[in-house]
Chains A and B, each alone.
Chain A
């Protein structure tokens, strides 16, 4: 039932493409699957009490800084590391957040403003793909423009930028709370290359309901399976962030990136949390998995290999009004899905399961629309089933989660956004990206309806910064009761698709981008600048 609108017919089927284009590229070296345990990034750790950043942050550089004075300060480096994603591959030079690829995990509660200083310690001369200029964007963060990671705000090695993350509810509305977010590089022209090179990590927010405590005495709390692993501390942790990426390696086992590709890049190695095909031991109890498509151009249809159902509880980090029982989730680049899987329901003899990707995709333009047979679907992660240990499983999935926020601000106007391509150039409403030109000035305190449409043979996961819209219709059909029936920050448009969303403009002023999150398209300027104005 979940995603049925997406899985049938809506996908583009293009028989013209063949594998001849890929035949020329040698495959990555063989790697033995399931050799290494799934790894987790460490938590980001703030400065100790009474320690101060040097030099001090400049309050004047931020909107509403004193109102949301930071309670914690982070001093994080972006630096280079030699990272080995599999024992049969080489150590590759990668860019890291906090000396970790994927980047360190940020965990905050709503109402706790923080400031993160990001120091650029990358080498000035970087051979091959990637840029040493960086700028960090928290995906779906409700942040002021100057802390949002506008692509042209990139900064060079030897300098730093302060990002003020106030962690406030959009419009003060508790229904606007978000959970699973991620942060990644957003540098002009180099987003795909830099994120591929390691610059992405999880950014998780909690509140009184989604409190991160399955034993929460608060009767209103969701009590979802809890405990995010912190580096090697994995035992009795049941809230599992998973970033899925695909990569390609040269014959010596070094990470490769096809910088000349214009359509989108596919890898032939499946990585979860930065490792090629790891395994993860799960107990016979409930788990929350936070699934993220880390790109650059891959679409996923994720299933458990035995076809078992699970509860789909959140879409793009937003709790759904009610959980949806599903067998699969569809993810475009940057989309997230939170699911709760109950392994206690498995037959006694089951010792292992896999998370598999059944979406067929043969080039970077988008999925073919075919669903691979379960037996042929690539296995991404092995789940080794172990008996339940530790305390009893008090976690649950409530029958209702977070209602949709009210669409209570009258619609001031309607805008159409048409995504197309002419002469090999991406256009939005027929225009090319220019960061000095604002294509929409949206008045703070108003709401608008934005209609998306697309043409051509490409699938585009369209992402809007700062504000998170509510989907009104998809291909002119209502979306209530489906996983689109809530808030979303990525709107995956398959060829010919249309979508309408309702968007409010609150709290912050300034320039923001809207762009295709196939990061290869994004780097070729499939982007629009729009502004929130007083």
Chain B
């Protein structure tokens, strides 16, 4: 974590007093990528993140901010975690590494099937993120994708970063174990997928090895129903459908002191 911290001690201190200046200072200390972030109104580095890996900050608009790590995708492009991968995105995130002999290959296979089901919305508005747990190089990731026919598919990012960064991301999604040995054990790494809708701060999770239909439906369930993409094959077909309320007008919330 420490070597990856995108903000200087000075910046962190200043943030307590002068948030605006701190933002500038934080960005100045991290170079070009963060300068872009400023232009888009980035939050300044880790101004108030907790000690614990994966800590996030709840913003006044009800969204959450993650540490703005620097990651590389399969093409070696530098992407900032909060600015480029989280903010405003709807995504499914999984964890793997190229030389995994366990569940990774199956997971990628299932996620590929989920991708196919979600094809009409992939890239925009839905993305898939696959984080490397073992510091695979962008070239390794590109080769891995090519071998599976995934390279060039819109909206699927294979991402790599130093182990500590990935740990922070993984913990931020809740995939950690209090036992440090278990937590670091690559063989037992998580097979869960994290589904997120950043703007609504909507989060859910299911096994990435599950039936891809469930995975695809879990992604769609993040959208407000009236904005939910309608995709053939993912409708409810197996139970009596709910019926429309006649003359439906949404009711404003009531106020009550208990019942």
Interface, chain A (partner B; CB < 8 A): 16-18, 21, 23-24, 36, 39-42, 54-55, 58, 61, 77, 79-85, 91, 93, 99-102, 104, 119-121, 123-129, 131-133, 146, 150, 152-153, 155-161, 188-190, 231, 250, 259-262, 274-275, 363, 422-426, 432-437, 523-525
Contacts and interface: CB of A to CB of B under 8 A. Distances in A.
Interface in B128-184: 172-175, 178-179
A422 B256 contact: no
Interface of B: 50-52, 54-55, 58, 62, 102-103, 172-175, 178-179, 188-192, 194-195, 200-207, 209-211, 213-214, 217-218, 221, 224-227, 236, 238-240, 242-246, 248, 250-251, 253-259
Contact of B211 (A93, A101, A126, A434): A434
A104 B259 CA distance: 8
Nearest to A193: B204
B72 to A, nearest CB: 24
A157 B225 contact: yes
Contacts of A425: 190-192, 207, 209
A160 B243 contact: yes
Contacts of B175: 262, 424
8 contacts: A21-B52, A24-B55, A42-B259, A93-B253, A129-B203, A260-B174, A262-B174, A422-B191
Given A24-B50, A81-B254, A231 B259 contact: yes
B238 A436 contact: yes
Nearest to A125: B224
Contact of B62 (A80, A127, A436, A437): A127
B172 A128 contact: no
B254 A424 contact: no
A152 B254 contact: no
A158 B253 contact: no
Nearest to B248: A158
A188 B205 contact: no
A151 to B, nearest CB: 10
B112 to A, nearest CB: 17
Given A24-B50, A152-B236, A424-B191, A190 B255 contact: no
Given A132-B225, A363-B178, A79 B254 contact: yes
Nearest to B244: A159
A102 B192 contact: no
Sorted from nearest, which 4 A-B pairs have the closest CB atoms? A155-B242, A260-B174, A156-B225, A424-B190
Given A155-B242, A250-B58, A425-B192, A101 B204 contact: no
B63 to A, nearest CB: 8
Given A42-B259, A425-B209, A153 B243 contact: no
Contact of B52 (A24, A77, A83): A24
